[in-house]
A = this chain, B = another copy of it.
């Protein structure tokens, strides 16, 4: 009988660097004003990718997540990235 998979979750949070135009955030800020919700001074957005691994060593999972960031999930010219392991 197999034991249940040991799960590791690494969260990758991708946001735009300061100074890079965040069109979605600007749109949200304007819409909040039109709806009369506020005053809201600023809006920022971020995208989170949760990568889940089964039976992978946590250090290996983090290395794979870092590789995913470098090769797929983020553009270092415009994005700031934070990785964190999610506790269970």
What residue of chain B has the Cβ atom nearest to residue A56's Cβ?
B39
State whether B44 touches A46 (Cβ < 8 A).
Answer: no
Is the CB of A77 closer than 8 A to any CB of chain B?
Answer: no
Binding site for B on A (CB under 8 A): 5, 7, 13, 15, 25, 28, 31-32, 35, 37-54, 56, 64, 67-68, 71-73
Which single residue of chain B is at the shortest CB-CB distance from A68?
Answer: B37
* A71: contacting residue among B37, B45, B48, B54, CB under 8 A: B37
**CB distance B51 to A40 under 8 Å?**
yes
Q: Could you tell me if B48 and A43 are in contact, using CB atoms closer than 8 angstroms?
A: no
Question: Is B52 a contact of A13 with CB atoms below 8 Å?
Answer: no
A71 / chain B contacts, CB cutoff of 8 Å: 35, 37
